[in-house]
């Protein structure tokens, strides 16, 4: 099949976590023998920020890690009929402009490709009007990255035409180091964002790390002055942006990492882990999580990772991991087992193909099924 994916960016992972998963799953689809075409707009904000900060050098890690992927960059006035020529399946990510999403739907009316909308964000609950602005009349269905998000679309009338399609780790790239070296301290790879987890980061990461007397290194973008001041107060070291392709080598230098979910994923869309949970476990680094409800049974909390109900318990878990090599080894073995058995991009590629096989040759969505 010829599979065309309209992404915000495949080249850039600057504040764009969806690129992590797409790189892996598109590579796996190609490995299965499918022709994969990734399309991204010329002026994507993620790529603009990345090259603005780091120039072309910012793309080197992606190109080295994913030599099979060559995304096509298109302009706003590009001919969609040409871009979609010969497509069997077209998937459109929700970070694209509403006008483009609608225009692809119009092309679908005179074509026989199968068309899916892919939602990997919390905007359906945090900013529902932004999602309702998309005209999905001509789409065959929706891929949602968690069951809680699928339920939102079902309430909007999509019924059986929404599928839960979780993110996963690219196991070709995210794996433990070939040879273990010395590990010290803690690492957190994450973007500051818009302040939706500021207190949680202080409560579950900065303060417990300081109390446990474990050095803490931070990688990410969009850290305002007040965030940097908070890091300094707690003795954490800030390193700025790191290419996602470099994450395995970063994780390999540390005793543990911590997952602090954004509030939307604990209160309004429970059960959806971020991509970093999959990637950390795949890299063989012990993981401790701030509270989140694994309502879909994706993992084995307490075995694959530890869960801290409050700042004190986080401190205790971090101290235990630092002191107990057997505990670290047990967490690593269990986490790797779960990811290898259930949560690799190859698993998701096969799931996607199974979903596509259920679709008819013409859209089954009526106007009442528009988000």
Q: Quick one: which H or E segment has residue 211?
A: helix 207-211
Query: What are the residue ranges of CATH 3.40.50.2000 in the chain?
Result: 2-168+346-369, 186-343
The SS3 assignment for 302 reads coil
pLDDT at position 193 is 78
pLDDT at position 274 is 87
Q: Which CATH superfamily is domain 2-168+346-369 in?
A: Glycogen Phosphorylase B; (3.40.50.2000)
Q: Identify how many contiguous H helices and E strands the chain contains and give both numbers.
A: 17, 13
pLDDT at position 194 is 78
pLDDT at position 142 is 98
Residue 220: count of CB within 10 angstroms of its CB? 18
pLDDT at position 370 is 38
Sign of the four-CA dihedral 189, 195, 196, 197? positive
CB 295 within 8 A of CB 368: no
Angular region, 215: left φ>0, alpha ψ -120 to 50, beta rest? beta
* Residue in 312, 358, 361 with CA at minimum distance from that of residue 162: 358
* Residue in 78, 95, 85 with CA at minimum distance from that of residue 16: 95
pLDDT digits (tens, 9 = 90+) for 176-235: 999 999 999 999 999 997 777 999 999 999 999 999 999 999 999 999 999 999 999 999
* Residue in 19, 79, 76, 5 with CA at minimum distance from that of residue 47: 19
- Residues 68 and 60: their CA atoms lie apart, in Å, by 14
Q: Quick one: which H or E segment has residue 257?
A: strand 256-259
* Residue in 329, 315, 326 with CA at minimum distance from that of residue 214: 315
pLDDT at position 360 is 72
User: Low-confidence residues of the chain, pLDDT below 70?
Assistant: 361-371
Token pair for residue 240? 């700025």
Residue 296 CA to its chain's centroid (Å): 17
Alpha-carbon torsion angle 170, 173, 177, 183, nearest 10: -70
CB 216 within 8 A of CB 205: yes
Q: Which residue has the tokens 């931070």?
A: 218
Q: Quick one: which H or E segment has residue 288?
A: strand 287-289
The SS3 assignment for 39 reads strand
> What does 310-356 look like in DSSP terms, one character per residue?
SHHHHHHHHHHHHH-HHHHHHHHHHHHHHHHHH-BHHHHHHHHHHHH
CATH no. of 186-343: 3.40.50.2000
pLDDT at position 361 is 53
> Across the chain, which distance is largest between two alpha carbons, in Å?
64
pLDDT at position 365 is 43
CB 19 within 8 A of CB 244: yes
C-alpha Rg value of the chain to the nearest Å: 21
> What does 66-135 look like in DSSP terms, one character per residue?
-TT--PEEE-TT--HHHHTTT-SEEEEETTS-HHHHHHHHHHHHTS--EEEEEE-SSHHHHSHHHHHTS-
pLDDT at position 366 is 39
Q: Which residue has the tokens 């101290």?
A: 319
């Amino acid at each position: 099949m010829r599979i065309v994916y309209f992404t915000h960016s495949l080249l850039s992972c600057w504040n764009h976590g969806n690129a992590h998963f797409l790189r892996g799953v598109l590579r796996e689809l190609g490995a299965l023998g499918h022709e994969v075409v990734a399309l991204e707009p010329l002026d994507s904000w993620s790529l603009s920020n990345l090259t603005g900060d780091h120039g072309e050098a910012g793309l080197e890690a992606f190109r080295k890690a994913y030599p099979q992927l060559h995304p096509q960059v298109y302009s706003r006035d590009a001919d969609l009929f040409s871009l979609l020529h010969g497509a069997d399946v077209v998937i459109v990510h929700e970070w694209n402009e509403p006008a483009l999403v609608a225009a692809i739907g119009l092309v679908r009316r005179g074509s026989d490709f199968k068309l899916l909308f892919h939602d990997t964000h919390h905007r359906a609950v945090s900013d529902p009007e932004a999602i309702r602005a998309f005209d999905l009349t001509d789409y065959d269905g929706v891929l949602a990255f968690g069951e809680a998000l699928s339920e939102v679309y079902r309430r909007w009338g999509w019924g059986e035409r929404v599928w839960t399609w979780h993110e996963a780790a690219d196991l070709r790239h995210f794996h433990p180091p070939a040879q273990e070296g010395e590990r010290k301290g803690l690492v957190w790879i994450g973007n500051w964002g818009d302040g939706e987890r500021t207190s949680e980061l202080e409560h579950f990461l900065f303060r417990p790390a300081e109390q446990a007397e474990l050095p803490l290194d931070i990688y990410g973008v969009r850290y305002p002055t007040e965030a940097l001041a908070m890091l300094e107060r707690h003795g954490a070291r800030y390193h700025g942006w790191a290419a996602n392709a470099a994450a395995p080598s970063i994780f390999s230098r540390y005793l543990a990492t911590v997952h602090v979910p954004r509030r939307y994923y604990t209160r309004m869309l429970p059960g959806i882990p971020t991509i970093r949970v999959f990637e950390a476990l795949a890299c063989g680094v012990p993981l401790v999580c701030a509270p989140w409800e694994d309502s879909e049974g994706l993992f084995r909390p307490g075995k694959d990772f530890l869960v801290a109900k409050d700042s004190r318990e986080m401190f205790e878990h971090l101290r235990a991991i630092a002191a107990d090599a057997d505990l670290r080894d047990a967490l690593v073995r269990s986490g790797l087992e779960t990811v290898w058995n259930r949560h690799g991009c190859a698993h998701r590629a096969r799931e996607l193909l199974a979903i596509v096989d259920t679709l008819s040759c013409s859209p089954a969505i009526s106007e009442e099924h528009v988000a």
